[in-house]
A and B are shown apart, each in its own frame.
Chain A
């Protein structure tokens, strides 16, 4: 069965600094999607970034980028120039067919 592991329950970063959130997953499939979702205090789930497993190029969305290591089954999220609005719970997710599996999340604190 597929699993998603986020080993950092909480992290803190100074405003304007860079932080990396870790995510590993386990699957025997070769074609799938990986996501990072942000859940702020409003609890609305917001898509941060998406990676297609068959694409070797790491996805980038403005200040957010991923380091996708398919062989290592690793999918980390880098947030550059951290802003106060980035404070939230971040969930890594794996999706294939009709299934999407979430990690337990990492709570990110931004220190002013």
Chain B
């Protein structure tokens, strides 16, 4: 089946630094990728929708300048948490749709971000 690779799985950083999370579709082209944030024991909260070659569409309440999303190719999207603070600590998950259809949605394994 389709595989989405997300890296890193874990990251610990100091407050004020930036962290980049990568999401790659390994065996299909993903015109659309999604980034979610998940707090403990809660559901996935959609942060933004990333389309290859264009600017990401952010959900209401998500700071564009804080969470920079780049979808430079059909197989790679990145989320950069800029000037991270402890309140940004969370589990971040990406997902991708093969061929632009939401018939199937494949998820990365997630990244646990801890900001000290």
Contacts and interface: CB of A to CB of B under 8 A. Distances in A.
A99 B107 CA distance: 15
B95 interface: yes
B109 A50 contact: no
For chain A, what secondary structure do more than half of its interface residues adopt (helix, strand, loop), or is it mixed?
Answer: strand
A30 to B, nearest CB: 16
Contact residues on B (Cβ < 8 Å of other chain), bracket: 20 to 34
Interface string B40-78: 011110100100000000000000000000000000000
A91 interface: yes
A37 to B, nearest CB: 8
Nearest to B51: A98
Interface residues of A, number: 23
Given A98-B32, A100-B102, A44 B43 contact: no
A97 interface: yes
A95 interface: yes
Interface of B: 32, 34, 38, 41-44, 46, 49, 91, 93, 95, 102-107, 109-110
Given A96-B102, A105-B42, 6 more contacts: A42-B109, A43-B93, A44-B110, A47-B106, A52-B103, A100-B102
